[in-house]
Structure 1
Amino acid sequence: MAISQTHKESTSVVKNFTEITKIRLSVSVVFSSVAGYLLGAESVDFMTLLLLCIGGYCMVGASNVFNQIMERDLDALMLRTQDRPIPAGRMSVNTALAIGIILTIIGLIVLYSINPQTAMFGAISIFMYVTLYTPLKTKTPLSVFIGAFPGAIPFMLGWVAATNDFGIEPGTLFMIQFFWQFPHFWAIGWFLFEDYKKGGFFMLPNGRRDKGTAIQVILYTIWTVLASLIPAFGVTGKLYITPVSAVLVGGIGIWMVYYAVRLYREKTDKAAKQLMLVSVSYITLLQIIYVADKFIR
């Protein structure tokens, strides 16, 4: 009986930790960093790669923890967030705060052990996410623009971790993921509009699920695809993709644009959800194509 109770408690602790750090989001961000590292590294150092994964998870996890502390009262109002550890009463604010601080310290130390620039960009990311993006979400749709900066850092962070240098290559990776944030988060803001409204969040550029918002989704989707094709023209230093990969990137780009246009035509929650799923597939496939291109050619 005591063993069963202990098992339940340990399971609950793990569940609460994975939820407060948003494990799926954190792992996807770490994946972007790994892709950036593989693109920048002349030879893969698996210890550096491991440190990047640990440090990256800690920093993203800490950002999510601080975000949930600050938004705990609003999370309680929304269906999709009311079962998070703090509003559900499974974790105290003090416990969450301790977790966030510990993760931040560990993350910075681990990233600094790779090189100082990596730690610096990691610190900038968590600072912008917590002190700018989070409080602005209830005040202005421009929060998505602000949030796109820390959101775009992971892809380029991997390159900086591999090279200890910031130049045209990581700048290009940053630009790709920066533009990608807009159609992705606006699609989420569209199909979760009513739920976000309960918490007082302003996520859509026009504040409405209308033609104007849908047009902006299309424009930023096109800019994302165009930015993704720049490395094929040999103007981004060591970051280069072959014509074959450019065709593949163009293909998945057309796929994403199709769903953006579909949202414009239908203006439904279903179309928005499909675009969100396609956008996640797009950025994942893009990173796989970029990395595969480097190691195959």
Structure 2
Amino acid sequence: MKQFFSDFSKLIKFRLTFSVVFSASIAFLIGSKIQIDRAIIDEINWMNWLMLIVGGFLVTGAANCFNEIIEVDLDKLMTRTKDRPMPAGRMTTGQGLVSGLVMGIAGTWLLGKLNLETGLISVFSILLYAFAYTPLKRKSPIAVFVGALPGAFPPLIGYIAAIGHSPVGYVPMDYLIAIVLFSIQFVWQFPHFWSIAWVLDEDYSKAGFRLLPTKKKDKTSAVFTFVGTLVLIPVSLLPTILGFGGYYVAVTSLLFGLLFSWYAYQLMVKMDTASAKKVMFCSFFYIPLVQLILLFDLVI
């Protein structure tokens, strides 16, 4: 049983799936609080929140499962992935396919019950991640841009799940908030992915993955990573600039954005793995922290 849970965790990439669900759930709570402030609803619909979490977990797990089916032969080549259940031979690709289909159908059904838009975006997310981003990883660094799209859908899905089922529906401000939540997570992913690609470059190269901007650890790739952190600062200040975030989230975004940029600057100067790891670990904390502070610092 212990091996089963371990394999299932690796199959769905549990930590990645958890971060995706966390992002969507926080956005759902943001949308719900906004509706409460507008006197559209009296309280948060916790049942819908739970449906979003379970549905998002299943959909993300399905996308990761399809990703591993496609890359099973490549996963055998890399140290960090060779012990996943399919490349290790503890699960067949047929079993993986059935698991992915069951999770994908069940998750999409749950999200679709929240509202049609949520269900449709979840399906598009699976297709884009598994069948566009995955094959592009060996072809071109543009894969990071393609992968950043489904990677930024979780807060969009969460916000739409909260707003889309209300009797009033969307107002113009909702579209703006949804775009901002999407944009923050979209821009954040570039320094996040590039720092990971730098740290794991030797392992990735075994499978022929080309995720760094220039396909190698050089000054230009480090500059791109640094610029990505700089762009993130004004984008993360948009909630306050546009009037739905308070000063606490602005200060948090600015301070941690500057710290993120400082680490990326050190990478640009030193060009070493130790600096890339600092950028990577900072990225892990940045996005959940900013989203949480925004949740408690809404001014609408």
Alignment TM-score, normalising by the size of structure 1: 0.93
**Secondary structure of the corresponding residue to residue 298 of structure 2:** helix
* Deviation of the 1:244 alpha carbon: 3.0
Q: Structure 2: which amino acid aligns with 1:268?
A: D
Deviations 1:226-272 (A, max 9, x none): 1110111126xxxx111232112211111111111111111111111
Q: Distance in 2 between matches of 1:268 and 1:45?
A: 48
Indicate the residue corresponding to 1:47 in structure 2: 47
**Secondary structure of the corresponding residue to residue 78 of structure 2:** coil
Q: Structure 2: which amino acid aligns with 1:147?
A: G
Contact 1:249–1:289 (CA<8 Å) still a contact in 2? no
1:152 equivalenced with 2:156 (yes/no) = no
Q: Structure 2: which amino acid aligns with 1:280?
A: F
Selected match of 1:170 from 178, 190, 198: 178
Indicate the residue corresponding to 1:243 in structure 2: 247
* Deviation of the 1:131 alpha carbon: 1.0
Indicate the residue corresponding to 1:213 in structure 2: 221
Selected match of 1:233 from 238, 241, 259: 241
1:22 equivalenced with 2:26 (yes/no) = no
Q: Structure 1: which amino acid aligns with 2:4?
A: V
Contact 2:248–2:293 (CA<8 Å) still a contact in 1? no
Indicate the residue corresponding to 2:69 in structure 1: 69
Contact 1:20–1:65 (CA<8 Å) still a contact in 2? yes
Percent of aligned positions that are identical: 40
Q: Structure 2: which amino acid aligns with 1:33?
A: A
* Deviation of the 1:168 alpha carbon: 1.2
List gaps (5 residues or longer) in structure 2.
36-42, 165-169
1:291 equivalenced with 2:295 (yes/no) = yes
List gaps (5 residues or longer) in structure 1.
1-9
* Deviation of the 1:155 alpha carbon: 1.2
1:57 equivalenced with 2:57 (yes/no) = yes
Indicate the residue corresponding to 2:273 in structure 1: 269
* Deviation of the 1:13 alpha carbon: 1.7
Indicate the residue corresponding to 1:32 in structure 2: 23
Deviations 1:142-193 (A, max 9, x none): 0001000000000111100000146111111111111111000000100111
* Deviation of the 1:210 alpha carbon: 1.0
* Deviation of the 1:113 alpha carbon: 0.7
**Stretches of 4+ aligned residues off by more than 2 angstroms:** none
Q: Structure 1: which amino acid aligns with 2:272?
A: T
Deviations 1:82-122 (A, max 9, x none): 11111111111111110000000001100011111111111
1:191 equivalenced with 2:199 (yes/no) = yes
Q: Distance in 1 between matches of 2:60 and 2:249?
A: 30
Contact 1:153–1:174 (CA<8 Å) still a contact in 2? yes
Alignment TM-score, normalising by the size of structure 2: 0.92
Indicate the residue corresponding to 1:12 in structure 2: 3
Q: Distance in 1 between matches of 2:13 and 2:147?
A: 17
Indicate the residue corresponding to 1:201 in structure 2: 209
Moved more, 165-174 or 33-42: 165-174
Taking only aligned residues, the RMSD between alpha carbons, in angstroms, comes to 1.3
Q: How many residues align?
A: 283
Q: Distance in 2 between matches of 1:287 and 1:76?
A: 36
Contact 1:30–1:56 (CA<8 Å) still a contact in 2? yes
